[in-house]
């Protein structure tokens, strides 16, 4: 087999950012479940199969420590190195297979070994190599993060994926290229839906999934569905695979999974929480929510914190809002449906978090506020977890840590802003306050670029952005229709720039992005 091992390499993977990989969020998820873990000083962090390396670059720039990453695709490694060169972070990027990396003898021990999604799209041999890396290179007390497609949520749709890959392999000529083959495979599957094929009738959730697939980025679909290897698996199979590395399941990296009230009806909570064995408990829970994608945290040498230890560490954590208070919805979606948050709890909490120009606040500081003093600490902690899990909050770094990484983040962000001139493939920027990223779209990046070049007024940002996109023959789209003429496009950009100045820029400044 070729060096690609059946993995799609002819088209680039997307520049995704995966917030669960952020060191601060990994620690918070474990602390939420009272799980002790190693936090090296400085942190040693390894990401396996980093794709375009955006998450890894942002974390290396925004967090103190030594960061490593490997990916088999040399083009992706080159792209990631370009960003690393801009930031000057301590980031070592290697063009190696998992087996080649596992065979190296001179590697250090890592506090964190993380892989996002890769587990589902590689061969059994590669999965064994990953377990070997964890066995030999994860420090005692270290964190192993793995996310993957799983059953039972994928069970009904697995034949759909096989149908599409079979069509791409057998019904389309090689010269067509991957994207036309993907389009043809989707169109063929839709023909079967339209003509009432029995499989789609027997599995009514599959046709809506196909409809969503049709709308997704073709570069993403190529890597998600059309690799030679694709193996959604039950949690119990993954648990058996990583047992050799002495790993114990510790927590879901998705904080919303920690709140049973939004995921499980009361009778199901009783059933799940009454199960003692963690593998059986997690497996049963997956059936209760029809889980299709898991984000697991495993620890080598798991230890449980006492309630007092857990609370002491929680009180020291700082949290920062990632958007304006006015933009935080008081509804949250879980597996059990949408829940409305209690305004009597969340309004004073959000107001306190926004005070002092959105400066980060510790749990202890929040507890001391008049509007929150009477709130039971458990309820306050749950509110913070829900808001963080929904992406509205993020753990914040200590002031000294922020200052230590501020210049690296600024350098990386400057490079991202320059890339925005040519396209919008990177939709995130690094925050030294969070030790992670915040979403910033292309036009907002162009506004920030104009601001950095000394243009102070939103109207100037709009003109600068229009000069950039019009020179490339591009136009804005509103309500699904391209705008006509310079005047109409500039007016829309001015509206967006004013909105950005009023609503988003203050938060980005508080987070050290602007």
The span from the CA of 156 to the CA of 164, in Å, is 14
| pTM exceeds 0.85 | yes
Tokens of 146: 């793995």
Q: Evaluate if residue 68 carries a pLDDT over 50.
A: yes
| DSSP codes joined into one string, 185-232 | HHHHHHHHHHTT-HHHHH-TTHHHHHHHHHTS-HHHHHHHH-SS----
What residues contact 84, with CB distance under 8 A and at least 6 apart?
53, 57, 60, 91, 93
pLDDT tens column, 230-257? 899 999 999 999 999 999 999 999 999 9
**In which band, very low, low, confident or very high, does the pLDDT at 39 lie, cut at 50, 70 and 90?**
confident
Residue pair 13/80 in contact by the 8 Å Cβ criterion? no
Task: Identify the sign of the CA torsion 384, 389, 392, 397.
Answer: positive
pLDDT tens column, 322-354? 999 999 999 999 999 999 999 999 999 999 999
Tokens of 355: 């005070």
The span from the CA of 383 to the CA of 346, in Å, is 7
Query: What is the reported pLDDT for 110?
Result: 97
- Beta strands at 303-304 and 35-36: parallel, antiparallel or unpaired: antiparallel
The span from the CA of 6 to the CA of 400, in Å, is 46
pLDDT tens column, 468-513? 999 999 999 888 889 988 999 999 999 999 999 999 999 999 999 9
pLDDT tens column, 303-321? 999 999 999 999 999 999 9
| DSSP codes joined into one string, 405-459 | HHHHHHHHHHHHHHHTTT-----EEEETTTTEEEE--HHHHHHHHHHHTT--SHH
Residue pair 298/255 in contact by the 8 Å Cβ criterion? no
Percent of the chain with pLDDT over 90: 88
pLDDT tens column, 175-227? 478 889 999 999 999 999 999 999 999 999 999 999 999 999 888 888 788 88
């Amino acid at each position: 087999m070729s060096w690609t091992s059946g993995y799609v390499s002819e088209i680039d993977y997307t520049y995704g950012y995966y917030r669960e990989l952020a060191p601060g969020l990994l620690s918070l998820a474990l602390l939420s479940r009272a799980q002790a873990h190693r936090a090296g000083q400085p942190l040693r962090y390894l990401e396996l199969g980093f794709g375009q390396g955006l998450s890894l670059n942002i974390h290396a720039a925004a967090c103190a420590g030594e960061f490593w990453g490997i990916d088999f695709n040399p083009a992706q490694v080159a792209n990631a190195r370009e960003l690393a060169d801009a930031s000057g972070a301590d980031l070592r990027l290697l063009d190696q297979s998992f087996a080649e990396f596992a065979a190296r003898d001179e590697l250090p021990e890592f506090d964190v070994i993380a892989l996002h999604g890769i587990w589902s799209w590689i061969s059994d041999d590669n999965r064994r190599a990953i377990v070997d890396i964890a066995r030999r290179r994860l420090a005692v007390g270290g964190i192993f993060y793995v996310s993957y497609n799983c059953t039972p949520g994928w069970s009904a749709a697995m034949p759909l994926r096989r149908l599409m890959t079979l069509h791409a392999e057998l019904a389309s000529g090689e010269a067509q290229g991957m994207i036309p083959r993907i389009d043809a495979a989707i169109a063929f599957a839709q023909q079967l839906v339209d003509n009432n094929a029995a499989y789609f009738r027997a599995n009514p959730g599959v046709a809506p999934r196909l409809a969503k697939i049709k709308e997704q980025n073709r570069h993403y679909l190529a890597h998600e569905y059309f690799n030679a290897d694709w193996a959604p698996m039950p949690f119990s199979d993954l648990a058996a695979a990583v047992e050799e590395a002495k790993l114990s399941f510790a927590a879901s990296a998705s904080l919303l999974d920690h709140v049973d009230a939004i995921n499980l009806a009361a009778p199901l909570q009783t059933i799940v929480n009454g199960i003692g064995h963690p593998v059986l408990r997690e497996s049963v829970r997956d059936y209760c929510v029809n889980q299709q994608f898991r984000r697991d945290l495993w620890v080598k040498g798991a230890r449980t914190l006492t309630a007092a230890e857990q609370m002491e560490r929680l009180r020291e954590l700082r949290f920062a809002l990632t958007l304006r208070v006015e933009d935080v919805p008081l509804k949250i979606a879980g597996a059990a449906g949408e829940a409305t948050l209690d305004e009597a709890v969340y309004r004073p909490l959000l107001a306190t978090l926004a005070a002092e120009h959105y400066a980060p606040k510790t749990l202890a500081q929040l507890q001391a506020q008049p509007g929150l003093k009477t709130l039971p600490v458990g309820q306050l902690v749950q509110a913070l977890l829900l808001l963080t899990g929904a992406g509205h909050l993020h753990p914040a770094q200590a002031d000294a840590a922020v200052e230590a990484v501020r210049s690296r983040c600024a350098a990386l962000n400057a490079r991202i802003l320059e890339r925005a001139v040519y396209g919008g493939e990177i939709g995130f920027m690094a925050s030294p306050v969070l030790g992670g990223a915040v979403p910033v779209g292309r036009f907002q990046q162009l506004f920030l670029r104009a601001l950095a070049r000394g243009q102070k007024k939103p109207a100037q940002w709009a003109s600068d952005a229009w000069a950039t996109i019009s020179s490339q023959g591009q136009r804005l789209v509103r309500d699904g229709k391209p705008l006509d003429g310079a005047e109409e496009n500039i007016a829309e950009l001015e509206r967006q720039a004013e909105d950005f100045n009023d609503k988003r820029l203050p938060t980005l400044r508080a987070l050290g992005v602007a």
